Amino acid sequence: MSTPPVSPAPPPTDLPWTVAALYQFRPVEDPAALRDTLLALARSLDLCGTLLIAPEGINGTVAGSREGIAALHDTLISLGFTRMEYKESGAPTRPFRRLKVRLKQEIVTLGVPVEPREQVGTYLTPQEWNALLAQDDVIVVDTRNRYEVKAGTFQGAVDPGLDAFREFPAWVDEHLNGAEGKKIAMFCTGGIRCEKSTSLLLQKGFRDVYHLQGGILRYLEDVPPEESRWEGECFVFDGRVTVGHGLTPGNGEMCHSCGWPLSAEDLGSPAFERGVSCPQCVDRTTDAQKAAFRDRQRMYDGLCP
């Protein structure tokens, strides 16, 4: 099943920044030329965020004005990306510090060859996902990194404890060996990691493999809180840190030393120093590094070092 063509929708609030999360697996004959085209366009539109381009397609999250994001979307459609998985949300402040348009070998790094354009799991709408999760014979797997899982996940989901997506194939071999006949349902932030994870499982002989189309972001956009099986907030890779139902900015805060999402307990810990350390990283940096982080934080706060 392929995803349908989409058109940009207005942001869900009157927030000044529009954030677009997008990807599509599609052969790119000249990634460098596409990179140059999109970099020039994004600069002219004053966009920020990251676009990744590889021979297998495009992936990214970018932000800008409503008009700028619409112009980027229309350009991608004109370049042949007519079946993007594409979502918009709003942000109250600039969510990225700069613009990056980069060439990669993969638009999401699994590290083993799979064919998501040829073989993927069964896509489920958010409503179908709820119905599947209500069944007793389903193994639900969160394919995101463990720091993302910490901010929120689906009820009953297995956390593989990944530090990077490239660790997922080894986790499958160790923990899902013998489960080839079971129903496996997987999810991630926007859907792209599950394109590859479901392809991997099918390649390994699994038969009943499902994934949440559009990922957590689509689910939170479509499913009202009273019908939700989601717990917590969804970690996003921008200045908002987390979003909640309706894709409204959440309450998350990030450690700017290590990138770990912080709970209220973390913020109250003696190990937490804004911009310098948190319970996750306080013992992993030297005094000299912490001093440099303090200088950086003073700069961000508008003070003299």
Over residues 164-186, the pLDDT tens digits come to 999 999 999 999 999 999 999 99
**What pTM value is reported for the model?**
0.84
Averaged over 42-55, what is the pLDDT? 97
Pairing, β 48-54 against β 99-103: parallel
Range 210-244 burial, b when 16+ CB lie within 10 A, else e: bbbbbbbbbbbbebeeeebbbebbbbbbbbbbbbb
Across 116-131, b (16+ Cβ under 10 Å) vs e yields: beeebbebbebeebbe
User: Which residues are catalytically annotated?
Assistant: 188
> Any idea which residue has 């990691």 for tokens?
193
Which residue bears the tokens 């980027």? 72
Predicted confidence at residue 56, as pLDDT, reads 96
DSSP 98: S
Q: Which of 230, 234, 246 minimizes the C-alpha distance to 154?
A: 230
Contact 234, 220 (CB under 8 A): yes
Would you say residue 5 has pLDDT above 80?
no
**Is residue 302's pLDDT more than 70?**
no
